[in-house]
Amino acid sequence: MNLLLAMVLAATQAGSDPAAPATAPQIEKLIQDGKADDALQQGRVAVAAHPDNVDLRIALARALAAKARHINRQVNVAMSKADVDRGQVLLKDTELAAAPATVDYDPALFEEALLHLGFAIEHAPKREDLRVFQCFLLTDYGRISRAKAAIESALVALPKTPALAKTMTAYGAERAKRGDPAGGAALLAPVVKAFPDQAPILIDYANVLTRLGRKAEAYAAFDRATSLAPKEASYARTKAVGAVLLRDFRRAQTAFDAAFRIGRGIADEFASCAAAYGVDPKAGGALMRGLASPAPSSDPALTELASKFARAGAKGPSSTEAMTLARELVSSEQYVFAIPVLDRAIKAAPKNAEAKSLMAAAYRGLGCEALAN
């Protein structure tokens, strides 16, 4: 009996040996608890003890990334003399949330994380979690050429499922969201190639190409998407908006008409008339006059706006009425409707500095810095 008890105690002590290397789940738990330093320390010990363990390698990579990653926000606030004297300024939560964020990494820890990920992928090339984390890290840090190569490699190695398509699309979308449409386009290109019949991916790709002013490529992607999903009003509408951004108002009018035929939405009909104004202000204003007549199903706000378009069309593209309309549209952030009005104003009066300034503001409001310039 004493011998059996001694054996049980010995086994228990061995199982709870504080010197035993941590397991991958234990390291992951430390990361989740915000204890990156502990996770990093224990992860390195565990990998040194079990260098071929893929789970430990990715756990250590996650710990390294957690330790290396920093988010910086640039907040523009007015400081009073009292703030200066106090040496601090109180920020509202909304001000902090609205501040643009940049992600940075400690380069050495970042590269060490990728080294462990590379080892893990070499030993388990079909594991999606390894591939996904590698793509995330490179995208998050803005290492676009390496992220693109990682995405291409993942698309070759992994089964091409709808879930994988969605995951791989997210990287390009994230770069575009952070104000990097060029990076977004680069990361979406291999996904479009791997999933050529996925209309949602083509729409995302076309959108970032539009923001870069890459007209021919954007049009090809939009046309492919709408041909794959001819009854999807949102795709036709997005295609139309892309044409407005590129100031191709005939194409925009045709696409808005297609969206209206599919969905019968009054907003699409109005947008078609606004695009028509960009082709010919007088003719577009005449079309708006029809929408300006109140009807039981009409939207009062659109009815009033249609009246202003009609007056601008009648008075001329550089008239006081047209510029007043343009100012109102930009100030109310109705940028897509403002672009055809401003385009015609600039064409009618190329030295109209205010119209050019408003046009740049409209494009910047839409996140199209390249087109604003």
Condensed to tens digits (0 to 9), the pLDDT of residues 239-284 reads: 999 999 999 999 999 999 999 999 999 999 999 999 999 999 999 9
Q: What is the pLDDT of residue 77?
A: 57
pLDDT, position 122: 98
pLDDT band at 14 (very low <50, low <70, confident <90, very high): very low
- 295 in the same domain as 372: yes
In a domain, 146, yes or no: no
Name the maximum alpha-carbon separation found in the chain: 106
Does the residue 301 lie in any domain?
Answer: yes
What CATH code is carried by the domain that includes residue 211? 1.25.40.10
**Mean pLDDT, to the nearest integer, of 235-241?**
98
pLDDT at 4: 43
pLDDT of residue 91: 54
pLDDT tens across 224-234, in order? 999 999 999 99
Residue 249 forms part of a structural domain: yes
- pLDDT of residue 84 exceeding 90: no
Q: What is the mean pLDDT of residues 333-354?
A: 98
Residues 256, 288, single domain; the answer is no
What integer pLDDT is reported at residue 9 of this predicted model?
A: 38
Q: Is the pLDDT of residue 179 over 50?
A: yes
Domain range spanning residue 295? 282-373
Q: Are residues 254 and 289 in the same domain?
A: no
Tens of pLDDT along 141-176?
999 999 999 999 999 999 999 999 999 999 999 999
5 pLDDT higher than 60: no
Amino acid in position 90: L
Q: Are residues 248 and 320 in the same domain?
A: no
pLDDT for res 76: 59
**Does pLDDT of 92 surpass 80?**
no
Q: Is the C-alpha dihedral spanning 169, 174, 176, 182 positive or negative?
A: negative
Q: What is the pLDDT of residue 78?
A: 60
Q: Looking at residue 373, what is its pLDDT?
A: 86
Q: Quick check: is 184 in a domain?
A: no
Tokens 């249609």 sit at which residue? 306
Kindly state whether residue 144 falls inside one of the protein's structural domains: no
Which distant-in-sequence residues (6+ apart) come within 8 Å of 145 by Cβ?
186
Check whether 96 has a pLDDT greater than 70. Answer: no
Judge if 288 and 362 occupy the same domain. Answer: yes
109 contacts 67 by C-beta, under 8 angstroms: yes
Q: Which residues contact 55 (CB under 8 A, 6 or more apart)?
A: 24
> Which has more pLDDT, 5 or 45?
45
Q: Name the residue with higher pLDDT: 87 or 343.
A: 343
The answer to whether residue 203 sits within a structural domain is yes
The answer to whether 42 and 84 are in contact (CB under 8 A) is: no
Q: What is the pLDDT of the chain when averaged over all its residues?
A: 91
Q: What are the pLDDT digits (tens) for 36-58?
A: 999 999 999 999 999 999 999 99
Quote the number of domains for the chain.
2
What average pLDDT does range 327-336 have in this prediction?
98
**pLDDT at 263 (0 to 100):** 95
pLDDT at 294 over 90: no
pLDDT bin (cut points 50, 70, 90) of residue 206 is: very high
**Whether residue 304 sits in one domain with residue 224:** no
Collapse the DSSP code of 103 into the 3-class scheme (helix H, G, I; strand E, B; otherwise coil) and give the result. Answer: strand
Q: Is the pLDDT of residue 79 over 50?
A: yes
Q: Where are the beta strands (DSSP E) in the chain?
A: 69-73, 101-105
- Residue 1's pLDDT band (boundaries 50, 70, 90)? very low
pLDDT of residue 72: 84
Does residue 274 lie within any of the structural domains?
no
Does residue 170 lie in a domain region?
Answer: no
Helix (DSSP H) and strand (DSSP E) numbers for the chain: 22, 2
Q: How far apart are CA 367 and CA 345, in angstroms?
A: 22
Per-residue pLDDT at 15: 42
Pull the structure tokens for residue 152: 């291409």
